[in-house]
């Protein structure tokens, strides 16, 4: 495998955030009249944008959430990140070894991405090369975000490799014509996830970031 650009998802790939985020989403949604567990949030919405998750939930409820929900959710997630967020183990070591250009393509908002990278000391690794689902019409599993990131970086899609931890992310990368690797080393992973990522189109899965340069 060779490439000219490595595209990283953020949550669950660069930062160990998914357990935190899913817990906060479950608590906030439950308080606002949509009972849901942390595990259910992870199963249904992992890898998808908050915008699309909200649309789906509102369609089920038959009503729109108050804008205060979004504000509260963002505040609660960032507060929990400030208290608990850590980088994925050995991600610095992997980034030290990779010689190709890198960027971030995340379902999170630009504000959340920036906060997570700053909190874990990864901001300088990516500079301005961070891209969010809020910048495109359709989030993962659509290919829009990955195609947008590749275009901004000036690299053809077929020369990109995407590092993802979710089925929507792998599907989006494959739909964009990119190769995808499934990372299964986050604290949110459950048995069988590697097989699900492979079935979605990941060419390989790995649990230790020190393995990544071998695939690239």
**Domain edge (last residue) among 66, 84, 102:** 84
Tokens of 40: 């259910």
The model's pLDDT over 128-156, given as tens digits with 9 standing for 90+, comes to 999 999 999 999 999 999 999 999 999 99
In this structure, the answer to whether residues 27 and 107 fall within a common structural domain is: no
Task: Read off the CATH number of the domain in which 50 is found.
Answer: 1.10.150.240
pLDDT, position 98: 95
**pLDDT of the residue at 1:** 57
- Regarding whether 131 and 190 lie in a shared domain, the answer is yes
Q: Is the pLDDT assigned to residue 85 strictly greater than 70?
A: yes
Distance CA 10, CA 47 (A): 10
> What pTM was estimated for this model as a whole?
0.86
Is the same domain home to 179 and 107?
yes
CATH code of the domain covering residue 166: 3.40.50.1000
Q: In the prediction, which pLDDT does 120 show?
A: 97
Same domain, 22 and 12: no
pLDDT of residue 166 exceeding 70, the answer is: yes
Mean pLDDT throughout 1-15? 92
Domain total of the chain: 2
Confidence class of residue 60 from pLDDT cuts 50, 70 and 90?
Answer: confident
Host domain of residue 75: 18-84
- Cβ-in-10-Å burial (0-12, 13-18, 19+) of 45 comes to buried
More confident residue, 154 or 58: 154
Share of the chain above pLDDT 70, in %: 99
47: pLDDT strictly greater than 70:
no
Q: What pLDDT is stored for residue 184 in this prediction?
A: 95
Q: Which of 41, 59, 84 is the last residue of a domain?
A: 84
Q: Name the residue with higher pLDDT: 44 or 120.
A: 120
Q: How far apart are CA 46 and CA 190, in angstroms?
A: 13
Please say if the pLDDT value at position 39 is more than 80: yes
Side by side, the strands of the sheet bearing 179-183 are 130-132, 102-106, 5-8, 160-164, 179-183, 204-206
pLDDT of residue 209: 96
Q: Tell whether 91 and 185 lie within a shared domain.
A: yes
Across residues 182-204, what is the average pLDDT? 92
State whether 159 and 79 are in the same domain: no
Same domain as 99, residue 12: yes
142, 198: one domain: yes
DSSP string, 63-88: SPPPHHHHHHHHHHHHHHHHHH--BP
- Whole-number mean pLDDT of the chain? 91
The whole-number pLDDT of residue 57 equals: 85
Q: Using the predicted structure, report yes or no on whether residue 179 has a pLDDT greater than 70.
A: yes
């Amino acid at each position: 495998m060779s490439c000219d650009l490595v595209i990283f998802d953020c949550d669950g790939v660069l930062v160990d955030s998914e357990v935190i985020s899913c817990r906060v989403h479950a608590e906030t949604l439950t308080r606002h009249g949509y009972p849901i567990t942390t595990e259910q949030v992870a199963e249904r919405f992992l890898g998808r944008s908050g915008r699309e998750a909200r649309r789906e939930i509102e369609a089920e409820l038959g009503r729109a959430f108050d804008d205060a929900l979004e504000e509260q959710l963002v505040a609660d997630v960032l507060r929990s990140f400030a208290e608990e967020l850590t980088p994925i183990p050995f991600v610095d070591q992997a980034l030290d070894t990779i010689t190709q250009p890198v960027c971030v393509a995340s379902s999170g908002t630009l504000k959340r991405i920036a906060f997570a990278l700053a909190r874990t000391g990864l901001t300088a690794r990516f500079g301005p090369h961070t891209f969010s689902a809020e910048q495109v019409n359709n989030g993962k599993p659509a290919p829009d975000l990955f195609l947008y990131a590749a275009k901004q970086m000036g690299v053809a899609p077929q020369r990109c490799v995407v590092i993802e931890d979710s089925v929507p992310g792998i599907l989006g990368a494959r739909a964009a014509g990119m190769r995808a690797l499934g990372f299964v080393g986050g604290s949110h992973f459950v048995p069988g996830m590697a097989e699900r990522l492979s079935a979605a189109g990941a060419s390989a899965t790995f649990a230790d970031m020190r393995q990544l340069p071998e695939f690239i």
